Amino acid sequence: MSSFPRNSIIKWLVAVIFAGCFFLRTLPSQTSSRNDFHFAIIGDRTGDAQPQIFGRVWREVDLMHPDFVLNVGDTIQGGGDAAAEKQWAELRPLWKRYSHYPLYFTAGNHDIFSKASEELYVKETGRQPFYSFDYQDAHFTILDNSRVRDMSEEQLAFLEKDLKANRNKNPKIVVFHKDYWIGLLRGGNNDFPLHKIVRDNGVKHVISGHGHNFVRIVRDGVAYMEVGSSGGGMKGKFLRGAGFKEGCFYHHVWARVQGGEVKFTVKELDGQFGKGRMFAAEDWDEKGPHFDISDPSIDGKPQT
Protein backbone atom coordinates (compact mmCIF):
# COMPACT_ATOMS: atom_id res chain seq x y z
CA MET A 1 0.00 0.00 0.00
CA SER A 2 1.57 3.30 -1.13
CA SER A 3 1.62 6.45 0.99
CA PHE A 4 2.11 10.12 0.26
CA PRO A 5 5.23 11.79 1.54
CA ARG A 6 4.56 13.79 4.72
CA ASN A 7 5.52 17.10 3.03
CA SER A 8 3.05 16.47 0.19
CA ILE A 9 0.22 15.85 2.64
CA ILE A 10 0.97 19.09 4.50
CA LYS A 11 1.09 21.06 1.24
CA TRP A 12 -2.19 19.48 0.15
CA LEU A 13 -3.91 20.39 3.46
CA VAL A 14 -2.65 23.98 3.24
CA ALA A 15 -3.98 24.27 -0.32
CA VAL A 16 -7.40 22.91 0.73
CA ILE A 17 -7.64 25.31 3.69
CA PHE A 18 -6.62 28.27 1.52
CA ALA A 19 -9.16 27.35 -1.16
CA GLY A 20 -11.89 26.96 1.47
CA CYS A 21 -11.15 30.35 3.00
CA PHE A 22 -11.19 32.00 -0.43
CA PHE A 23 -14.53 30.35 -1.26
CA LEU A 24 -16.09 31.48 2.03
CA ARG A 25 -14.88 35.04 1.49
CA THR A 26 -16.65 35.14 -1.88
CA LEU A 27 -20.01 34.12 -0.38
CA PRO A 28 -22.37 36.95 0.56
CA SER A 29 -22.30 37.60 4.30
CA GLN A 30 -25.55 37.29 6.23
CA THR A 31 -24.89 40.73 7.69
CA SER A 32 -23.77 42.42 4.48
CA SER A 33 -26.27 44.71 2.80
CA ARG A 34 -26.79 45.21 -0.90
CA ASN A 35 -29.14 48.14 -0.52
CA ASP A 36 -29.49 50.88 -3.07
CA PHE A 37 -32.70 52.86 -2.70
CA HIS A 38 -34.29 56.16 -1.62
CA PHE A 39 -37.27 56.90 0.58
CA ALA A 40 -38.95 60.07 1.80
CA ILE A 41 -40.17 60.91 5.30
CA ILE A 42 -43.14 63.22 5.76
CA GLY A 43 -43.76 64.93 9.10
CA ASP A 44 -46.93 65.83 10.98
CA ARG A 45 -49.83 67.17 8.93
CA THR A 46 -52.24 68.13 11.71
CA GLY A 47 -52.52 70.15 14.88
CA ASP A 48 -53.88 73.33 13.25
CA ALA A 49 -53.29 71.86 9.79
CA GLN A 50 -51.94 73.91 6.90
CA PRO A 51 -53.26 72.01 3.82
CA GLN A 52 -51.37 74.10 1.27
CA ILE A 53 -48.08 73.24 2.96
CA PHE A 54 -48.84 69.51 3.10
CA GLY A 55 -49.75 69.57 -0.59
CA ARG A 56 -46.50 71.35 -1.44
CA VAL A 57 -44.49 68.77 0.50
CA TRP A 58 -46.12 65.94 -1.43
CA ARG A 59 -45.44 67.61 -4.78
CA GLU A 60 -41.76 68.04 -3.93
CA VAL A 61 -41.46 64.47 -2.71
CA ASP A 62 -43.18 63.10 -5.79
CA LEU A 63 -40.79 64.96 -8.11
CA MET A 64 -37.87 63.21 -6.40
CA HIS A 65 -39.29 59.75 -7.25
CA PRO A 66 -38.74 57.87 -3.98
CA ASP A 67 -39.04 54.10 -3.80
CA PHE A 68 -41.53 54.56 -0.97
CA VAL A 69 -42.81 57.18 1.48
CA LEU A 70 -42.90 56.91 5.26
CA ASN A 71 -44.85 59.25 7.52
CA VAL A 72 -44.46 59.86 11.26
CA GLY A 73 -48.15 60.16 12.16
CA ASP A 74 -50.85 62.75 12.83
CA THR A 75 -52.36 62.52 9.37
CA ILE A 76 -55.85 63.65 10.39
CA GLN A 77 -57.01 66.16 12.99
CA GLY A 78 -59.18 63.64 14.86
CA GLY A 79 -61.22 65.07 17.70
CA GLY A 80 -63.90 62.38 17.67
CA ASP A 81 -64.94 59.20 15.89
CA ALA A 82 -67.56 60.88 13.71
CA ALA A 83 -65.17 63.62 12.60
CA ALA A 84 -62.37 61.14 11.87
CA GLU A 85 -64.33 59.25 9.21
CA LYS A 86 -64.94 62.43 7.23
CA GLN A 87 -61.32 63.55 7.60
CA TRP A 88 -59.93 60.28 6.27
CA ALA A 89 -62.38 60.38 3.36
CA GLU A 90 -61.11 63.84 2.39
CA LEU A 91 -57.60 62.43 2.00
CA ARG A 92 -58.49 59.54 -0.32
CA PRO A 93 -57.90 61.60 -3.52
CA LEU A 94 -54.38 62.40 -2.26
CA TRP A 95 -53.50 58.75 -1.65
CA LYS A 96 -54.88 57.86 -5.07
CA ARG A 97 -52.79 60.58 -6.75
CA TYR A 98 -49.60 59.23 -5.20
CA SER A 99 -50.44 55.53 -5.29
CA HIS A 100 -47.57 54.74 -7.67
CA TYR A 101 -45.33 53.95 -4.70
CA PRO A 102 -45.96 52.38 -1.28
CA LEU A 103 -46.91 54.59 1.66
CA TYR A 104 -46.06 53.32 5.15
CA PHE A 105 -48.10 55.03 7.85
CA THR A 106 -47.25 55.59 11.51
CA ALA A 107 -50.08 56.01 14.01
CA GLY A 108 -50.21 59.40 15.73
CA ASN A 109 -52.33 60.56 18.64
CA HIS A 110 -54.59 62.52 16.25
CA ASP A 111 -55.07 59.34 14.18
CA ILE A 112 -55.83 56.76 16.89
CA PHE A 113 -57.54 57.78 20.13
CA SER A 114 -60.23 55.10 20.55
CA LYS A 115 -61.09 51.57 19.45
CA ALA A 116 -63.29 52.90 16.64
CA SER A 117 -60.58 55.27 15.40
CA GLU A 118 -58.09 52.39 15.40
CA GLU A 119 -60.39 50.30 13.21
CA LEU A 120 -60.88 53.26 10.89
CA TYR A 121 -57.12 53.85 10.72
CA VAL A 122 -56.52 50.27 9.60
CA LYS A 123 -59.31 50.51 7.02
CA GLU A 124 -58.12 53.80 5.53
CA THR A 125 -54.34 53.27 5.60
CA GLY A 126 -54.15 49.55 4.94
CA ARG A 127 -51.62 49.33 7.80
CA GLN A 128 -51.85 47.93 11.30
CA PRO A 129 -51.09 50.27 14.21
CA PHE A 130 -47.73 48.48 14.58
CA TYR A 131 -45.93 46.25 12.11
CA SER A 132 -42.60 45.77 10.36
CA PHE A 133 -41.42 45.46 6.78
CA ASP A 134 -38.30 44.85 4.73
CA TYR A 135 -37.05 46.79 1.76
CA GLN A 136 -34.13 45.07 0.06
CA ASP A 137 -31.81 44.21 3.00
CA ALA A 138 -33.13 46.98 5.29
CA HIS A 139 -35.64 46.39 8.06
CA PHE A 140 -38.19 48.89 9.40
CA THR A 141 -40.15 48.49 12.64
CA ILE A 142 -43.19 50.76 13.04
CA LEU A 143 -44.48 51.06 16.61
CA ASP A 144 -47.66 52.57 18.06
CA ASN A 145 -47.48 54.93 21.06
CA SER A 146 -50.49 56.98 19.98
CA ARG A 147 -52.39 56.45 23.24
CA VAL A 148 -49.60 56.37 25.82
CA ARG A 149 -47.05 58.93 26.97
CA ASP A 150 -43.97 56.83 26.24
CA MET A 151 -43.96 53.19 25.06
CA SER A 152 -46.06 50.31 26.36
CA GLU A 153 -44.65 46.97 27.50
CA GLU A 154 -46.51 45.32 24.62
CA GLN A 155 -44.75 47.52 22.09
CA LEU A 156 -41.33 47.03 23.68
CA ALA A 157 -41.82 43.24 23.63
CA PHE A 158 -42.88 43.37 19.98
CA LEU A 159 -39.85 45.51 19.13
CA GLU A 160 -37.35 43.23 20.84
CA LYS A 161 -38.82 40.09 19.29
CA ASP A 162 -38.95 41.72 15.85
CA LEU A 163 -35.34 42.93 16.00
CA LYS A 164 -34.03 39.56 17.15
CA ALA A 165 -35.91 37.82 14.33
CA ASN A 166 -34.29 40.22 11.86
CA ARG A 167 -30.82 40.43 13.40
CA ASN A 168 -29.15 39.89 10.02
CA LYS A 169 -30.93 42.81 8.37
CA ASN A 170 -28.93 45.99 7.92
CA PRO A 171 -29.74 48.79 8.48
CA LYS A 172 -32.53 48.55 11.03
CA ILE A 173 -34.75 51.62 11.52
CA VAL A 174 -37.40 52.09 14.23
CA VAL A 175 -40.27 54.56 13.78
CA PHE A 176 -43.04 55.78 16.12
CA HIS A 177 -44.93 59.01 16.66
CA LYS A 178 -44.45 60.46 20.14
CA ASP A 179 -40.95 61.78 20.73
CA TYR A 180 -40.69 60.98 24.44
CA TRP A 181 -37.00 60.14 24.08
CA ILE A 182 -36.07 63.84 23.77
CA GLY A 183 -36.57 64.67 27.44
CA LEU A 184 -34.92 61.43 28.58
CA LEU A 185 -31.79 61.85 26.47
CA ARG A 186 -31.42 65.55 27.22
CA GLY A 187 -31.82 64.74 30.90
CA GLY A 188 -28.93 62.28 30.78
CA ASN A 189 -30.98 59.09 30.87
CA ASN A 190 -29.30 56.64 28.49
CA ASP A 191 -30.72 53.55 30.13
CA PHE A 192 -34.47 53.62 29.43
CA PRO A 193 -35.99 50.40 28.00
CA LEU A 194 -36.36 51.53 24.38
CA HIS A 195 -32.79 52.73 24.17
CA LYS A 196 -31.38 49.53 25.64
CA ILE A 197 -33.33 47.45 23.12
CA VAL A 198 -32.32 49.44 20.03
CA ARG A 199 -28.71 49.83 21.19
CA ASP A 200 -28.29 46.12 21.92
CA ASN A 201 -29.92 45.00 18.66
CA GLY A 202 -27.96 47.03 16.13
CA VAL A 203 -30.48 49.80 15.42
CA LYS A 204 -28.76 52.95 14.16
CA HIS A 205 -31.78 55.19 13.54
CA VAL A 206 -34.92 55.99 15.56
CA ILE A 207 -37.41 58.37 13.91
CA SER A 208 -40.40 60.17 15.47
CA GLY A 209 -42.71 63.12 14.95
CA HIS A 210 -45.26 64.80 17.25
CA GLY A 211 -43.42 67.95 18.39
CA HIS A 212 -43.44 69.88 15.09
CA ASN A 213 -39.71 70.52 15.55
CA PHE A 214 -36.65 69.11 13.86
CA VAL A 215 -34.50 67.47 16.55
CA ARG A 216 -31.51 65.16 16.30
CA ILE A 217 -29.65 63.54 19.23
CA VAL A 218 -27.06 60.75 19.04
CA ARG A 219 -26.39 58.36 21.94
CA ASP A 220 -24.33 55.17 21.94
CA GLY A 221 -24.24 55.15 18.14
CA VAL A 222 -28.02 55.46 17.82
CA ALA A 223 -29.22 58.59 15.97
CA TYR A 224 -32.62 59.77 17.20
CA MET A 225 -34.42 62.16 14.84
CA GLU A 226 -37.69 63.98 15.19
CA VAL A 227 -39.06 64.98 11.80
CA GLY A 228 -40.94 68.24 12.31
CA SER A 229 -43.89 69.78 10.55
CA SER A 230 -44.92 68.97 6.99
CA GLY A 231 -48.14 70.90 7.45
CA GLY A 232 -48.89 70.80 11.17
CA GLY A 233 -49.37 74.23 12.71
CA MET A 234 -46.43 76.14 14.19
CA LYS A 235 -48.03 79.55 14.68
CA GLY A 236 -47.58 79.39 18.43
CA LYS A 237 -43.89 78.58 18.09
CA PHE A 238 -43.35 81.46 15.69
CA LEU A 239 -45.15 83.87 18.01
CA ARG A 240 -42.85 82.80 20.84
CA GLY A 241 -39.84 83.68 18.68
CA ALA A 242 -38.80 80.18 17.62
CA GLY A 243 -37.31 79.83 14.15
CA PHE A 244 -35.06 77.74 11.98
CA LYS A 245 -32.23 77.28 14.48
CA GLU A 246 -34.78 76.01 17.02
CA GLY A 247 -35.98 73.43 14.49
CA CYS A 248 -39.19 75.30 13.59
CA PHE A 249 -39.53 75.17 9.83
CA TYR A 250 -41.72 73.28 7.33
CA HIS A 251 -39.79 70.40 5.80
CA HIS A 252 -39.53 66.80 4.70
CA VAL A 253 -36.59 64.38 4.79
CA TRP A 254 -34.93 62.47 1.97
CA ALA A 255 -33.12 59.21 2.80
CA ARG A 256 -30.45 57.55 0.67
CA VAL A 257 -29.65 53.94 1.60
CA GLN A 258 -26.50 52.36 0.22
CA GLY A 259 -25.30 49.12 1.74
CA GLY A 260 -25.74 49.46 5.49
CA GLU A 261 -25.47 53.25 5.51
CA VAL A 262 -28.35 55.73 5.59
CA LYS A 263 -27.83 59.40 4.72
CA PHE A 264 -30.63 61.80 5.59
CA THR A 265 -31.05 65.14 3.84
CA VAL A 266 -33.48 67.65 5.33
CA LYS A 267 -35.28 69.91 2.85
CA GLU A 268 -37.04 73.07 4.00
CA LEU A 269 -39.86 74.41 1.87
CA ASP A 270 -39.13 77.59 -0.05
CA GLY A 271 -41.30 80.42 -1.38
CA GLN A 272 -43.64 81.96 1.17
CA PHE A 273 -43.24 78.99 3.52
CA GLY A 274 -39.45 79.02 4.00
CA LYS A 275 -36.07 79.69 2.44
CA GLY A 276 -35.50 76.33 0.77
CA ARG A 277 -32.53 75.47 2.96
CA MET A 278 -31.21 71.92 2.63
CA PHE A 279 -28.69 70.19 4.86
CA ALA A 280 -27.33 66.79 5.85
CA ALA A 281 -29.00 65.62 9.04
CA GLU A 282 -25.65 64.85 10.69
CA ASP A 283 -24.87 68.59 10.54
CA TRP A 284 -27.51 69.11 13.25
CA ASP A 285 -27.19 67.93 16.84
CA GLU A 286 -28.98 68.61 20.13
CA LYS A 287 -27.56 72.15 20.14
CA GLY A 288 -29.02 72.84 16.70
CA PRO A 289 -27.46 73.50 13.29
CA HIS A 290 -23.70 73.43 12.74
CA PHE A 291 -23.77 75.58 9.63
CA ASP A 292 -24.58 79.07 8.43
CA ILE A 293 -28.38 79.04 8.47
CA SER A 294 -28.51 81.73 5.80
CA ASP A 295 -27.69 79.21 3.08
CA PRO A 296 -25.94 75.91 3.93
CA SER A 297 -25.87 74.88 0.27
CA ILE A 298 -23.02 77.34 -0.32
CA ASP A 299 -20.60 75.30 1.79
CA GLY A 300 -21.94 71.78 1.55
CA LYS A 301 -23.58 69.41 -0.87
CA PRO A 302 -25.78 66.86 0.95
CA GLN A 303 -25.42 63.30 -0.36
CA THR A 304 -28.62 62.21 -2.07
Residue 197: φ, ψ to 5°: -65, -50
The CA distance from 214 to 231, in Å, is 13
For CA atoms 57, 62, 65, 70, give the dihedral sign: positive
Could you give the residue ranges of the DSSP H alpha helices within the chain?
A: 6-26, 51-63, 81-97, 115-125, 153-165, 181-186, 193-200, 235-239
pLDDT, position 235? 84
What pTM, to 2 d.p., does this model score? 0.87
pLDDT, position 47? 81
Q: Does domain 33-298 have CATH number 3.90.180.10?
A: no
The CA distance from 274 to 303, in Å, is 22
Contact predicate 144/107, CB 8 Å: yes
**Spans of all domains in the chain:** 33-298
What is the per-residue burial (b if ≥16 Cβ within 10 Å, else e) of 50-84? Answer: beebbebbbebbeeeebeebbbbbbbbbbeeeeeb
Angle between helices 153-165 and 193-200 (to 10 degrees): 0
pLDDT, position 233? 87
* Mean pLDDT per 10-residue section of the chain, whose length is 304 residues: 54 52 42 89 89 92 97 95 95 96 97 98 98 98 98 98 98 98 97 98 98 97 97 87 93 98 97 92 96 69 58
